[in-house]
């Protein structure tokens, strides 16, 4: 069985993340960091009209903004290969490029943070014998990471998600999952947490771009 749902709905009732018009992944991430006072030298940012109705809470800077942990599930395999692309020749699925940052609660980029991703394939299957769609990487000196992968398929009992472990140098391991917006399964998934939603954009070539910022203790 995959992750057991706790039956608990997301306890978060307030909007804890800014929602931005996703005109580019980098712009989104830069905007999020800008909210933390980090200037990457990017262009101006635009909030979506809907965002005007949301409480503009900071994306980091307070303990409650720590990226929440959720269950690891049964399919983690240690010692994944170090790679930023999980794509392989002939792999089925919609290409997804996830760009993001790891920052501290003080809104400082965390360099050389470990990120270990694992996910189901386009058919909702995990490779539990090998390392297909599994890999780890480290943030650069700006705390940035890029993951090339596919949109994971659905499997019974869960909404769409990507598993991840994040660890700042000498920090504790955060085990969590990233979720996709506008998924019918989100509302029915007891593990789902809207604080773990990626910002997503569909590209003209049919691929998807995602952005997410992890806030961790250092």
For the chain, the distance separating the N- and C-terminal CA atoms, rounded to the nearest angstrom, is 34
Short-list 69, 140, 71, CA closest to 103: 140
> CB 184 → Fe ion: shortest distance, Å?
17
> CB 1 → Fe ion: shortest distance, Å?
11
Q: Are 43 and 196 in contact (CB under 8 A)?
A: no
> CB 73 → Fe ion: shortest distance, Å?
5
Which residue stretch of 66-74, 85-93, 135-143, 191-199 sits at the interface with Fe ion (rule: CB under 5 A)? 66-74
Residue whose CB is less far from Fe ion, 72 or 140: 72
Residue whose CB is less far from Fe ion, 63 or 78: 78
Which residue stretch of 14-22, 40-48, 72-80, 183-191 sits at the interface with Fe ion (rule: CB under 5 A)? 72-80
Which residue stretch of 52-60, 70-78, 91-99, 101-109 sits at the interface with Fe ion (rule: CB under 5 A)? 70-78
Residue whose CB is less far from Fe ion, 50 or 92: 92
Q: Are 14 and 194 in contact (CB under 8 A)?
A: no
Three-state DSSP class for residue 150: strand
Residue whose CB is less far from Fe ion, 45 or 125: 125
Residue whose CB is less far from Fe ion, 33 or 178: 178
DSSP class per residue in 74-131: S---SSPPB-SB---TT--S-EEEEEEEEEETTS-B-TT-EEEEE---TTS---SSS-
| Residue with the shortest CB distance to Fe ion | 73
Residue whose CB is less far from Fe ion, 109 or 152: 152
Short-list 179, 122, 198, CA closest to 3: 179
Beta strand residue intervals within the chain, DSSP E = 95-104, 114-118, 134-138, 144-150, 161-167, 173-179, 199-202, 208-216
The span from the CA of 188 to the CA of 104, in Å, is: 31
Which residue stretch of 5-13, 68-76, 91-99, 199-207 sits at the interface with Fe ion (rule: CB under 5 A)? 68-76
Number of amino acids touching Fe ion (CB under 5 A): 1
> CB 105 → Fe ion: shortest distance, Å?
27
Site of interaction with Fe ion (CB under 5 A): 73
């Amino acid at each position: 069985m995959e992750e057991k749902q706790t039956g608990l709905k997301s306890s978060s009732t307030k909007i804890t993340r800014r929602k931005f018009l996703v005109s580019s992944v980098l712009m989104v991430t830069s905007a999020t960091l800008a909210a933390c006072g980090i200037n990457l030298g990017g262009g101006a940012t635009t909030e979506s009209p809907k965002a005007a109705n949301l409480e503009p809470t900071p994306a980091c800077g307070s303990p409650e903004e720590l990226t929440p942990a959720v269950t690891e599930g049964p399919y983690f395999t240690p010692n994944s290969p170090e790679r930023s692309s999980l794509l392989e020749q002939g792999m089925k699925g919609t290409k997804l490029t996830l760009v993001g940052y790891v920052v501290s609660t003080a809104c400082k980029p965390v360099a050389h943070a470990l990120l270990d991703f694992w996910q189901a394939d386009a058919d909702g299957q995990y490779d539990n014998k090998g390392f297909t769609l599994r890999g780890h990487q480290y943030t650069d000196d700006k705390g940035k990471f890029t993951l090339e992968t596919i949109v994971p398929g659905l499997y019974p009992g869960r909404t769409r998600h990507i598993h991840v472990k994040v660890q700042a140098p000498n920090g504790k391991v955060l085990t969590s999952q990233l979720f996709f917006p506008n998924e019918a399964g989100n509302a029915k998934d007891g593990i789902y947490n809207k604080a773990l939603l990626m910002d997503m954009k569909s590209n003209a070539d049919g691929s998807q771009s995602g952005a997410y910022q992890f806030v961790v203790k250092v």
